[in-house]
């Protein structure tokens, strides 16, 4: 996944909000988001390479939060009580973290716990232990065994992203192949020569006197109708490298990066109780939900929906039971 992500500039990193959760424009799951994105390596955008394009004309610079573990507390659990139990788990891995949390010690280089009133908790670790799969698994298993969490994201499974705007000259035209007013006749001629050799179907268009200078670029490249935005971005980068002419007028839409969660490690078919194992208690929990309406969190509902019809039901309960008694294996008939 890391090779799909871009490194944000130091200026952006300096203003990050640790628990901003307002990533409303992208799908809730990082993996689902990446599946719909096309990676475009664009070296001309310093600090934003590779670039990930989505929705044909939107560009996002994305970087993993490799020093953070995130988990979400169950609804209905008293927050103070839950945090106390969380700290008991973390103390086994990070001695002294409780004291640092209670003292609101934000300057210590040691790992610390971050919380907010929406039930999100994060372990921030900039020591050598960051990225340890063993530590991540140990913490998740212990929290799940206590019934404290409904979501868990390991190192780098939450990301920061910024939208990068591309427009010229009015800021609304997403066209990487439009060029600034200071483009010279020599540069325009160089563009024409390069395109004639490498992209003969493309044409250099110059603004006519009757066109609005505030809405039409001085020089732009007309491309075949089937040319995608990602292809235009690649060619924009190529022209900057080979011809020395920069198009696109790229700028960051907002200085404050947004956050987006990735793969929830508690998503496991059949694990209705979210204790990281499958057993008869999962069947009981699902049957209680079906018969008496005992609530299930979103992750539990997803895990319970074995047949994928969107609603956990008796068929799913039977499928889980068959898995437990080894009539099936991996929820497929033997």
How would DSSP label each residue in 116-144?
-TTSEEEEE--STTTT-HHHHHHHHHHHH
Cut 0.75: pTM above it: no
Predicted confidence at residue 150, as pLDDT, reads 96
Contact 70, 261 (CB under 8 A): yes
- For 213-239, b/e burial (b = at least 16 CB within 10 A) is eeebbbbbbebeeebebbbbbbbbbbb
Contact 239, 245 (CB under 8 A): yes
Predicted confidence at residue 180, as pLDDT, reads 79
Domain 268-334 top-level CATH class: mainly alpha
Contacts of residue 133, Cβ cutoff 8 Å, sequence gap at least 6: 154
d(CA 45, CA 178): 16
d(CA 245, CA 292): 67
Domains of the chain by residue range: 2-65+159-165+253-261, 66-154, 168-248, 268-334
d(CA 295, CA 292): 9
Predicted confidence at residue 198, as pLDDT, reads 96
Q: Residue-wise pLDDT tens for the chain (334 aa)?
A: 333 222 222 222 222 333 322 333 444 555 555 556 777 877 777 666 667 776 677 788 777 889 999 999 999 899 999 999 999 999 999 999 999 999 999 888 999 999 988 889 999 999 999 999 999 999 999 999 999 999 999 998 888 888 887 775 445 556 888 887 888 999 999 999 999 999 999 999 888 888 877 777 788 899 999 998 889 989 998 999 999 988 887 777 655 677 778 889 999 999 999 999 999 999 999 999 999 988 999 999 999 999 999 999 999 999 999 888 887 677 754 3
Architecture of domain 66-154 in CATH? 2-Layer Sandwich (3.30)
């Amino acid at each position: 996944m890391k090779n799909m992500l871009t490194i944000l500039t130091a200026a952006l990193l300096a203003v990050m909000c640790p628990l901003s959760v307002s990533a409303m424009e992208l799908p809730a799951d990082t993996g689902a988001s990446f599946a719909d994105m096309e990676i475009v390596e664009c070296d001309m955008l310093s600090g934003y390479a590779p670039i990930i394009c989505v929705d044909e004309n939107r560009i996002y610079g994305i970087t993993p939060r490799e020093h953070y573990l995130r988990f979400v507390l169950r609804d209905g659990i008293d927050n103070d009580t839950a945090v106390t139990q969380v700290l008991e788990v973390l103390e086994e891995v990070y001695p002294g973290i409780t004291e640092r949390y209670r003292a609101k010690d934000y300057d210590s280089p040691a790992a610390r716990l971050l919380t907010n009133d929406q039930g999100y908790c994060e372990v921030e670790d900039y020591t050598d232990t960051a990225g340890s799969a063993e530590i991540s698994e140990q913490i998740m298993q212990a929290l799940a065994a206590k019934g404290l969490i409904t979501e868990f994201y390991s190192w780098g499974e939450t990301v920061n992203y910024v939208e990068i705007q591309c427009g010229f000259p009015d800021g609304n035209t997403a066209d990487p192949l439009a060029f600034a007013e200071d483009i010279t006749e020599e540069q325009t001629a160089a563009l024409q020569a390069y395109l004639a050799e490498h992209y003969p179907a493309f044409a250099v268009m110059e603004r006519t006197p009757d066109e609005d200078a505030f809405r039409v670029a001085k020089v732009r490249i007309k491309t075949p109708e089937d040319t995608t935005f990602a292809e235009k971005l690649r060619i924009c980068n190529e022209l900057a490298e080979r011809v020395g002419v920069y198009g696109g007028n790229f700028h960051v839409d907002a200085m404050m990066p947004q956050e987006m969660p990735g793969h929830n490690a508690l998503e496991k078919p059949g694990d209705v109780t979210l204790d990281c194992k499958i057993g008869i208690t999962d069947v009981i929990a699902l049957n209680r939900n079906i018969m008496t309406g005992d609530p299930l969190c979103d992750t539990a509902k997803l895990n319970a929906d074995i047949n994928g019809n969107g609603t956990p039901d008796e068929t799913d309960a039977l499928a889980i039971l068959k898995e437990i008694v080894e009539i099936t294996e991996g929820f497929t008939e033997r």
